A and B are shown apart, each in its own frame.
Chain A
């Protein structure tokens, strides 16, 4: 039998789609100029980058001059938070971020705390949602930054960014949203959302890795973090990564064009998967919000068993997923997102994230449900926490 290779980890990264790859290729060797050079080689490169900037700006309803290219989501998040903290430090030293932000935000906030800034980490409810009311309550006279992600990368919960941005605007606080998981999936209109800054990353929507965007509304203060040359209107140093930018813009354009079709496709896969798991496996919990969740995300806790061992059993069966278990985290801490949602440590331990893509099929989903039911049964049989009780008859 041919070894299966089923990829259910699209929130981690996606393959570069063919159209984007083809569009990138000439910019490695033929049109290789430094976009900062004044000669014709440079001008050719600038032309490609300008086009990419226009495309990205149009899709999120921004001006091209508000789009900054970066090395990815991590850099954009770092820049937004640190760059605002420094630019607005005379006004205040208080920053607000949600407790379920990506480590790119949390680790940056922690570092800023060491540098003398105060940070409030907003709680979330059991669905992983930040309440606008909690934002309002956290605001102080010296608050200069609010960062709440558009959608969470682990449990897929979509946040009330628009409502939170309205509060930020009223209080003249810079509002940032990390849209890394939402870009290319949800309709993102910076004006409608009312945000001052937004980050996203090419590799989450079938573009290349190592390239991203920070949108900064004109007039909003931000200090450079990547200091260097004159690139990106003196705001972000570093020789422009022309092929990656071209590829990201093309992938973003196509994702936008196909948005509704693709969302419907992956939502159907996800719902088939959720229904299959809930029908076949007792004692599971869908983490996150049932309705306000990313189309591609299904995050489950399988009680009494540990995520890394589930992950490896699936891997051996040719299914690639990721886990929020302490054992697979490197830091030996369970997912900070699940803990913030009040999921008990033991349950967080058995959590697995499945994220679907346009390259997946219903057959793959059905196969995965079968393998998963087997795996969970096998691991529970060796779990000291699992009482056999009616377990047997509930597996079908």
Chain B
């Protein structure tokens, strides 16, 4: 059901874990199946210098977590916010339709982490 690329990323996901002394953390839950994703970021001058994830979810959730964290590394916060779940799915060369909702989790986790950071900065 998954394409080769998804299975490959799922088998060897990148950026697993938690960034040490992270500057931002975002944890979101997936209402449709009960899965959870956490993203931690190291941020330097509004640029994401490191990103890691922890995911309690299916193969698609793990693959999108890995790909999304890869995609935001080196990006400014504003550019990272522009990344959509559709772009993550494209990067993975597609997901089965019933698995598209898992990719939303990654997008939301990134957003939550950046919001967390901005709130802390503003405070």
Instruction: Say whether A associates with B.
Output: yes
Chain A interface (Cβ within 8 Å of chain B)?
Answer: 304-306, 308-309, 312-313, 316, 325-328, 330, 332, 334, 345-346, 349, 381-385
Contact between A308 and B59, CB atoms less than 8 A apart: yes
- Distance in Å from the Cβ of A75 to the closest Cβ of chain B? 27
Known: A304-B56, A309-B62. 17 other contacts (CB 8 A): A305-B56, A306-B35, A306-B56, A309-B10, A309-B57, A309-B59, A326-B33, A327-B33, A327-B35, A349-B33, A349-B34, A349-B35, A381-B17, A382-B13, A382-B16, A382-B62, A384-B55
Contact residues on B (Cβ < 8 Å of other chain), bracket = 20 to 34
Do most interface residues of chain B lie in helix, strand or loop, or is the interface mixed?
mixed
Q: Give the residues in chain A near B10, CB-CB below 8 Å.
A: 309, 312
Central interface residue in A309, A330, A345, by most chain B CB within 10 Å: A309
| Closest residue on chain A to residue B65 by CB atoms | A382
Q: Give the residues in chain A near B34, CB-CB below 8 Å.
A: 326, 334, 345-346, 349
- Distance in Å from the Cβ of A93 to the closest Cβ of chain B? 35
How many Cβ-Cβ contacts under 8 Å join chain A to chain B? 66
21 residue pairs bridging A and B, Cβ less than 8 Å apart: A304-B56, A305-B56, A309-B57, A309-B61, A309-B62, A312-B2, A312-B7, A312-B10, A312-B59, A327-B35, A327-B61, A349-B56, A381-B16, A382-B17, A382-B54, A383-B54, A383-B55, A383-B56, A384-B55, A384-B56, A385-B56
Question: In the complex the two chains form, what is the Cα distance from A326 to B29 in whole Å?
Answer: 14
Question: In the complex the two chains form, what is the Cα distance from A306 to B54 in whole Å?
Answer: 12
Q: Mark contacts of B77-103 with chain A using CB atoms, 8 A cut-off: 1 yes-contact digit, 0 otherwise.
A: 000000000000000000000100110
Question: In the complex the two chains form, what is the Cα distance from A66 to B11 in whole Å?
Answer: 53
Question: In the complex the two chains form, what is the Cα distance from A332 to B31 in whole Å?
Answer: 10
Question: A309-B10, A330-B98, A332-B33 in contact; A384/B58 too (CB < 8 A)?
Answer: no
Complex partner residue of B36 from A316, A328, A381, A384, CB under 8 angstroms: A384
Contact between A325 and B58, CB atoms less than 8 A apart: yes
Question: In the complex the two chains form, what is the Cα distance from A3 to B60 in whole Å?
Answer: 24
Central interface residue in B33, B37, B54, B61, by most chain A CB within 10 Å: B33
Q: Give the residues in chain A near B64, CB-CB below 8 Å.
A: none
Say yes or no: is B32 at the interface (Cβ < 8 Å to chain A). yes
Central interface residue in B2, B16, B34, B102, by most chain A CB within 10 Å: B34
Question: In the complex the two chains form, what is the Cα distance from A346 to B34 in whole Å?
Answer: 7
Q: Which 5 A-B pairs have the closest CB atoms?
A: A327-B58, A384-B54, A326-B33, A308-B58, A384-B38
Question: In the complex the two chains form, what is the Cα distance from A345 to B56 in whole Å?
Answer: 13
- Distance in Å from the Cβ of A315 to the closest Cβ of chain B? 9
- Distance in Å from the Cβ of A58 to the closest Cβ of chain B? 43
- Distance in Å from the Cβ of B59 to the closest Cβ of chain A? 5
Question: In the complex the two chains form, what is the Cα distance from A325 to B60 in whole Å?
Answer: 14
Question: In the complex the two chains form, what is the Cα distance from A197 to B60 in whole Å?
Answer: 43
| Closest residue on chain B to residue A330 by CB atoms | B98
Contact between A306 and B58, CB atoms less than 8 A apart: yes
Q: Give the residues in chain B near A328, CB-CB below 8 Å.
A: 58
